Amino acid sequence: MNRNRKKILFLCSWYPSEISPTNGNFVQKHAESVQLNNDVIVLSIFSSIIHNEIRLEENDNQGIREIIVYYPKRTILSIPNYFLHYKAFRLGFEKAEKHIGKIDLVHLNVIFPLGIWALWLKWFQNIPYVITEHSTYYNSNSTHEKSKFKIWFAKVILNRSSMTLPVSEDLGRSLKKISSKVSMQYISNVVDAKVFKLKSDKSNKNRTNFIHISTAIEKHKNVSGIIRVFSELYKTRTDFQLHFVSDGDIESLKILVNQLKLDSVITFYPTRSTDEIAEMIASSDALVLFSNYENFPCVIAESLMCGVPVISTNVNGIPEHVNSTNGILVNRGDDEELLRALNDFLDGKFTFNPIDLRNYALKHFSYEEVSLKYNEVYEQVLQNNNIRLNQL
């Protein structure tokens, strides 16, 4: 192995698993980008009602060993069995070290709940940790009911991190309110430019193809609002199609679409592979989001990488990358403004250069650029940690 390649443990609270195959797939992509300059091993732990005992699963993903540990979901007086959680962690960590050797640094992905083990490794094995946070839980305008325990837990983990790396500057400001002394640097989500490619010809020239991709969580993504606005659009024109891709519960949305007689212009698609998503975005004319709050959705970065503009609400981390050069921003919850934006786009009042959009994405979201940013952080953290240990 190249001595300059550091051994990084990706400790992941969110990660694709048999429980949720797409949950945290953006964390998986970060691991793939880091692997360009370092040796990465993934460890993730999940409680499961399926398994009666602890079970460890190993996968290989583009040179990265993924260790997923499942433990029985049991409670004692409504308290989760943390002893089983600890056993699952120890089993997974020992397997990780056996495979990759001594870990140089822990990269914690999403503070809750696995942050406790990043802290444990720092205390008992002197392994520093950095954090990448993705959760909208901490955003000031999110609808999550804030748990005092989770906020306290986040503060403890943040305070003891060597560096925290939110995926948007807006999320960073929210985390600073929890821990004012935390060291912070913003590093965005990442996109594989070899998969998400420009496509010169668009399918169905007679219609403009819009695409929406999300988990379809209503309070977060405002998906019924999208359908309402497209219903109004359909009253005056039919020169469009909306492709709605989701791994969430969309049955109520299908009923709404049927009631509004929109079946001819709105089509639903279940979970799709990364390659299929890339193909669908590249074949579209614009991505449409109407979220009430966000950090910076990976699908926006993917859309720009394909040279496809974005129509979105102007919330949280989105305007950090979306502006008049690559999209249209509307106010949160403003149906009339979204309707006007869609009409203007269909009427050709906005034009975007696909090559310019892709070049921006390559500069900000490519595996190579994000990997270099992470590597610089790792080297700084490890250098500071060595200085600290030599002073003890």
Instruction: Give the side-chain half-sphere CA count within 13 A for 342.
Output: 31
Which pTM was predicted?
A: 0.92
DSSP β-bridge partners for residue 164: 131, 184
Query: Treating both helix axes as pointing N-terminal to C-terminal, what angle do 25-34 and 298-305 enclose, rounded to 10 degrees?
Result: 60
Distance, CA of 212 to CA of 242 (rounded, Å): 7
Q: Where are the beta strands (DSSP E) in 99-176?
A: 105-109, 129-132, 163-164
User: Taking every pair of C-alpha atoms in the chain, what is the biggest distance, in angstroms?
Assistant: 73
pLDDT at res. 392: 62
pLDDT at res. 1: 42
Distance, CA of 212 to CA of 328 (rounded, Å): 15
**Contacts for 94 with CB less than 8 Å, ≥ 6 apart:** none
Which CATH architecture fits 208-365? 3-Layer(aba) Sandwich (3.40)
Name the amino acid, one letter, at 112. Answer: F
Distance, CA of 32 to CA of 191 (rounded, Å): 10
CA-based nearest residue to 191, from 70, 278, 265? 278
pLDDT at res. 78: 47
What one-character-per-residue DSSP string does 305-328 give? HTT--EEEE--TTGGGT-STTTEE
DSSP class of residue 167? Answer: S
Which residue bears the tokens 């709940």?
113
**What is the CATH code for 7-190+367-391?**
3.40.50.2000
- Nearest 5°: the CA angle 280, 283, 288 is 70
Distance, CA of 149 to CA of 135 (rounded, Å): 16
pLDDT at res. 81: 76
Distance, CA of 32 to CA of 364 (rounded, Å): 16
All structural domains of the chain with their residue ranges: 7-190+367-391, 208-365
- pLDDT tens track of the chain, all 392 residues? 455 899 999 999 999 999 888 889 999 999 999 999 999 999 999 988 888 899 999 999 988 999 999 999 876 544 557 789 999 999 999 999 999 999 999 999 999 999 999 999 999 999 999 999 999 899 877 777 788 999 999 999 999 999 999 999 999 999 999 999 899 999 999 999 999 999 766 655 789 999 999 988 888 999 999 999 999 999 999 999 999 999 888 898 999 999 999 999 999 999 899 999 999 999 999 999 999 999 999 999 999 999 999 999 999 999 999 999 999 999 999 999 999 999 999 999 999 999 999 999 999 999 999 999 999 999 999 999 888 777 76
Domains 7-190+367-391 and 208-365 share a fold: yes
